[in-house]
Every structure is written in structure tokens, then in C-alpha cells.
Amino acid sequence: MKKIMTKQVFERMQRVANDEGIIDALALDQRGSLVKMMKQAAADNGKPFSMQMVYDFKKLVSKVLSPKSSAILLDEQMGFEGIKAKAPETGLIMSYEKTGYDADTPGRLPSLIDNQSAQIMVEQGADALKVLIYLNTKDKAEVNQIKKAFTQRYGTEALAAQVPTFFEIVTYDDDYASDSIEFAREKPRMVIDAMKEYTKDEYHVSVLKMEMPFNPKYVKEWNDGGEYAYTEEEVKGYLKELSDAATRPFIFLSAGVPTPVFQRELRLAGSAGVKFSGVLSGRATWRDGINVYAKDGEAGLIDWLQHKGTQNVLDLKEILAANATPWFDIYGGMDNIEVVDAPEIK
């Protein structure tokens, strides 16, 4: 059966992917976490912190690295300078969710930015939208029902605006620290179950942005004889199960792991036959530049971006070329996509 896709959504999907249909995108929509990292870097280097540092950091990273990426993910709140600085040929994905969550309300419930809408972001130049939810698949049914309804509202709003939706899922369990071995043991099933649910047609998600279904810290062959939760062979099985559950394109997020670790994860996914369509790589690409910027200012950061930052992007491109699958192949290839005109909404 052919995949029906409107002309607007199809063309925008093509704009956020490279010529081979791979999404080699740069994630730069971090807000609260980036402020925290920048404050720490400023303090470590004996410099005063200001929000202008965050705005300028996003602008410089976007200016130097966006020309080498198929798309860049930015937020209008702190990344407005980065949006203006991005390369014209690079696709723009815009964040629609508020940063963080209300810690006083159980369930880490998501919410959208108050002064944004799918239509407004399209008018601001967005080729795609992105929303993140925190998900505990074992949480109370009423909590997860709120998240399902939230996702459907997001998907149907974007459908009306004829803009692709990126949907990021970050799993958690409040009973365990995110870096604990206890949560590491839960994570594979949580991530796979999240895929099984949110790959359903009813959510109108264009691209799922998924975690690796394991914690690399607890892979037996990767941790120099420390305690482990799984072997590399077991991890390959989790990766394949995740891939087999997908009914639409999905990409991997870097989740803040060091660059070499993320690269190793992607190669492992490729060796397991995982049909992922690219990445949205954030901190793994640019995190080390924060301290360089705090220490050496704009000139230091530009130099770092032109050398190490650029090399990080190029290394990812090489890995994706060898291991990733074009986004349209999940639908049986370009010939199996029927592009239709969408009704005009006035």
C-alpha cells in the first residue's frame, strides 16, 4: 500500500534531509541545560555569566556548523540569533515545547510554548516542528493518557499547517537515577515500548527521535570490567527490536554522551541492521566548545568550531553514510510515496 503524503510535508521532509535522504541534523535547542552548562563554564574560568553568552553561543555554532548539516534544531526563545545565522540551504526544525517540566506536578507533564503555534513557526521559516516528552511507560494510566492526548493534539495541529513533526521521547523512572544500573536494566523495554506506542498512525508523527535502548555505561564490553546490565550482543538485539517496531522514520538523539561513544553506538546500530534515518546530534557535537567559549571568547569558539566542531560533524556524516537508511525507505522507497496536494486552509 502506498504512503500518501501532501506536497508541503514531502518537500519539507526533503529540506531537513540531505541529498541521500539521511537526516544529519544538529540539535541546538537546549535551553535550561545550556544555561546551566554556560554558567558553570563561566564560573570555572573566572568570568561573569550573562544570557548574551547563550544567545551568542547559539549564533556562532549555527553560523559555522549549520552549512555542514542537513538541518538545525533551534528554539525561538534563546536561539533567535541562531535562526538568523543559519545557512539558507539548511533546513530549520523549531522546538515547540517549553523547556523542562514542573517538578511539583507528578508525571513530568509536557506543555507548549505559550506564544507559538504550528502556523506561526511555519511563518517564521520552520521546515519542521519538534516536541519532547518525558515518558515512564509504567506510570499511571491517567498520566500516560495525558501524554498521548498531548501528542495527538501536536500531530493534528501540525497536520493542518502541513509541516512535519519530529517527536522526541526521553524515558525516566523517578524511583531510580537516570545513570543508575537499575534504570539501565529497565531502559531497553521502556524505549522499545515507547516506539511501539508512538509509531502508531493516530499520533501523526513524521519522525521519531529516539534514545538508544541501552545505557552505554553498562555494556559489558564497553566498561573495562565494571558492573554491567547487558552484553553487546544483547544490545544489538534491543536495537533490532526497536527498529522492527517502527512504522515511520526514526533518528537517534545523542543524549549528551561523549562524541566517541555516540559514534560507537551508531556503528553498532548499523551492524545490527537497524533502519534508522539519521541523527539529531547536540551536545556530542558542540559541548566541548562551551568551555572554549567561556575561556577564549568568540574568536576561540570560532576556531574550535572550524576545526574540532566541524570534524565532529564530518565524522557523523561518514558514519551515517555507511549505516543510516533514507527516511523514505521506511515506506518502501520513493516510488511508494504518493504526493498529493493538500486542501488550502484560509
**Residue the block writes with cell 539529531:** 280
Residue 204 lies in a domain: yes
List residues bridging with 27 in a β-sheet. 73
Contacts 24+ apart (CB under 8 A), 320-325: 320/22, 320/24, 320/266, 320/278, 320/279, 321/20, 321/22, 322/270, 323/266, 323/267, 323/269, 323/270, 323/271, 323/276, 324/22, 324/270, 324/276, 324/277, 324/278, 324/279, 325/22, 325/275, 325/276, 325/277
Full residue range of the structural domain in which residue 253 is found: 3-147+159-340
**Mind listing the pLDDT tens digit of every residue in the chain (346 residues)?**
899 999 999 999 999 999 999 999 999 999 999 999 999 999 999 999 999 999 999 999 999 999 999 999 999 999 999 999 999 999 999 999 998 888 889 999 999 999 999 999 999 999 999 999 999 999 999 999 999 999 999 999 999 999 999 999 999 999 999 999 999 999 999 999 999 999 999 999 999 999 999 999 999 999 998 999 999 999 999 999 999 999 999 999 999 899 999 999 999 999 999 999 999 999 999 999 999 999 999 999 999 999 999 999 999 999 999 999 999 999 999 999 999 998 766 5
Q: Is 265 helix (H, G, I), strand (E, B) or coil?
A: helix
Residue 346 lies in a domain: no
Residue 185 lies in a domain: yes
- For residue 341, the model assigns a pLDDT of 92
Which residues in 189-304 belong to E strands, given as ranges? 207-210, 250-253, 278-281
Residue 302 lies in a domain: yes
- For residue 1, the model assigns a pLDDT of 87
DSSP strand pairing (250-253 vs 3-6) = unpaired
Residue 154 lies in a domain: no
The total number of structural domains that make up the chain: 1
Residue 43 lies in a domain: yes
**Residue the block writes with cell 498529493:** 340
**Residue the block writes with cell 523512572:** 173
Residue 152 lies in a domain: no
- For residue 346, the model assigns a pLDDT of 59
Residue 297 lies in a domain: yes
CB count in 10 Å sphere of residue 221: 11
CATH number at residue 77: 3.20.20.70
The C-alpha angle with vertex 65 and arms to 307 and 323, in degrees rounded to 5, equals 90
